[in-house]
Amino acid sequence: MDFKFRHVFKAKNGMHGGGKRCFGIKGPDMVLPVPCGTIVYDESHNILADLCQEGEVYIVAQGGKGGLGNQHFATSVNQAPRYSQPGLPGHVCEITLELRLLAEVGLIGLPNAGKSTLLKVLTRANPKIAPYPFTTLFPNLGVLKFIDREIVLADIPGLVEGASEGVGLGHEFLRHVERTKLLVHMISVEPLSADMCWDHYETISEELRKHNPDLATRPTVVVLNKLDILTGEEMATILGHFVSRGVPAIAISAVTGAGIGELISLIQKGVD
């Protein structure tokens, strides 16, 4: 947001030199703080820096070198020359900043699948959850804690058909899952029919493929959510439908907690 409405950043000039051989004070650096995971591009979209480490610094535009005062040009016959060298202008350039979150696991799926509910169950994040699509407007991060390690999960806004071409909110956020090691693809069983659940799965898989073929081959845990609204038999039918198409899935309920233990161990295995 800091860069959304303000586009011109200019460091202050250094001070002028003065009499008695005084040089002017250097102008203060203009520092633009950015979150970890920010990529800096130049005008032709080449990557200048990928700032992934806390405290990492990249100099985008070097200030101009100060000029030399007249004392530098003094000679024995001209001890106070009327000449001095002017300072050089600073570097001016145009850059693009792009944030790609540094999460190990990305939660993806259609709107209303229960991604934010799952994030809330797995981590201490407190995302907004509501029974309508597009509740999540910006990615949420949460940390899944184990005794010996922590895994960062990103819950991104729901994707829809055409997301890879800019439909809905998802396109803007698909890049946030590009760095993840593992995707958790959530499908709500709410349509109640195995065919429709499969359609939803294919819609999202297709958008991932179109956005970046790498994402389509990323290790993925397919999760059928809202197990609690089905009978055991109905759930088994849907799971069978996925398995027969070569996509093993697990069934969970983010609300009752059923299947969450199994999902956690799959996540742990998936990122190791």
Ligand X SMILES: Nc1nc2c(ncn2[C@@H]2O[C@H](COP(=O)(O)OP(=O)(O)OP(=O)(O)O)[C@@H](O)[C@H]2O)c(=O)[nH]1
- From Mg ion, ligand X, none, interface partner of 131 (C-beta below 5 to 8 A by class): ligand X
- From Mg ion, ligand X, none, interface partner of 111 (C-beta below 5 to 8 A by class): ligand X
CB-CB contact of 208 with 216 (8 Å): yes
Tell me which residues in 223-252 interact with ligand X (CB under 6 A).
Answer: 225-226, 228-229
Task: Tell me the site size for ligand X, rule CB under 6 A.
Answer: 24
Q: Which of 224, 254, 263, 267 binds ligand X (CB under 6 A)?
A: 254
The residue among 17 and 127 lying less far from Mg ion, judged by its C-beta, is 127
Tell me which residues in 108-137 interact with Mg ion (CB under 5 A).
Answer: 116, 135-136
Residue 268 near Mg ion by CB under 5 A: no
Residue holding tokens 């040089």?
A: 23
- From Mg ion, ligand X, none, interface partner of 164 (C-beta below 5 to 8 A by class): none
Question: What CA dihedral angle connects 194, 197, 202 and 204, to 10 degrees?
Answer: -170
Interacting residue ranges for ligand X, rule: CB under 6 A: 109, 111-117, 129-131, 133-136, 157-158, 225-226, 228-229, 253-255
